[in-house]
Amino acid sequence: MSDRPGGEPTEAPTEKRLKKAREDGKVAYSAKVAGVFQISVFLLLGFATFSLMARGLQEAAVVLFSGDLPPGVALRFSLNALLNAFLPLGVALFLALLAAGLVQVGFRFNIKSLQPKLSRISPKEGFKRIFSRERLVELVMGLCAVILTGVILYFHLRDNMGRFLQLGLSGFPGAMVALPRLLLGFLLKMCFVFAAVAALDWFMIYRRHSKSLMMTRYEVQKEMEQAEGNPHQKSERQRVHLELSHMGLGAAVAQSSAVIVNPTHIAVALIRYGDRVYLSAVGKDEAAARIRYYARLHGVPLFVLKPLARSLSALSPGAPVPRALATSLEVLLLSLERYGG
């Protein structure tokens, strides 16, 4: 049972709520997706530059342990060799992390998500997070990934044990050439495993995020009311709302200017008062069928506008149509001109 005003959240979030969530840093972001991006780049670029990294590692080791140079000079030379060998891979991994963020949330940076919150250090909230259903699902996914990794590694070692043993006889240069080929098959299989886990993780996070943004009908209506005009207009809307909400369904539809349908499951009757359009009747399923019946009986025009019907069905009879919707519906407004007085 929900403790939010208006009962259970069943309505899609408004643009205002979505915008506020983005401003607060509440977005669907999966760290596992970012990890898959980095692993893929590591494999592709690492495989292409493996000989360069191996040569840099060999040069660093030779200079550092040969004793031909003073320790400080040898250390500095070794660090430079390692930096030149591994810097391209490091930069590519950083860019992959940025790309993963751009793919998931776009060009958005919000400082609010970095600000300290008491809930993050609260023991009570911490225990809730640790023993939550989401953590349990993540634990199961992690265990499955570990088991799959072990199985794939076992079969890969079993099938290539002889080639791995030969690496010790090939010397360092030969081993550095043969090792990438031996590991490539295993790493590609692991990429598929991680990609599957990341896709499932992102889907669950996106679903949980979307559910957290859902609104109750009361919240949608209050938000739309808060976005409307001055106190005098609000008083007039309240009067109209009271009048329409006490009107019978047949009478309300008979006085309506138009009816918006879904076309079968939702019907919303509209009426113009002054310069505003109000909902005179709202119904779903059986009630929608009755509204359509009264509309045809009294010659009220019907319009099939599915997205608009769904949006307006969250409101109650007597509520004003939000200006953002009313002004964008030129066909509807033209059909209402002869009723506008």
Q: What confidence tens digit (pLDDT) does each residue in 281-315 have? A: 888 888 899 989 888 888 888 888 888 888 888 88
Contact 97, 38 (CB under 8 A): yes
Q: What confidence tens digit (pLDDT) does each residue in 99-129 have? A: 777 777 666 655 555 555 555 556 666 566 6
Strand order across the beta sheet in which 266-273 lies: 276-284, 266-273, 258-261, 302-304
Return the exposure string of 142-180: e unless at least 16 CB atoms fall within 10 Å of the residue's CB, then b.
Answer: eeebeebeeebeeebeeebeeeeeeeeeeeeeeebeebb
Contacting residues for 259 by C-beta, under 8 A, at least 6 apart: 253, 267, 268, 269, 270, 291, 292, 295, 300, 301, 302, 303
The pLDDT of residue 93 = 79
The pLDDT of residue 94 = 83
Alpha-carbon gap, residue 152 to 156, rounded angstroms: 6
The pLDDT of residue 2 = 53
Structure-block tokens of residue 279: 């909902």
Tell whether pTM > 0.85.
no
Enumerate the domain spans of the chain.
15-213, 229-339
Alpha-carbon gap, residue 281 to 241, rounded angstroms: 11
Alpha-carbon gap, residue 259 to 303, rounded angstroms: 6
Residues of the chain whose pLDDT is less than 70? Answer: 1-7, 48, 51, 63-64, 66-69, 73-74, 105-131, 168, 170-177, 224-246, 274-275, 323-341
Alpha-carbon gap, residue 17 to 2, rounded angstroms: 19
The pLDDT of residue 240 = 65
The pLDDT of residue 102 = 75
**Alpha-carbon radius of gyration of the chain:** 32
Strand, helix or coil for residue 8: coil
The pLDDT of residue 253 = 85
Fold classified for 229-339: name from scop (3.40.1690)
Contact 225, 19 (CB under 8 A): no
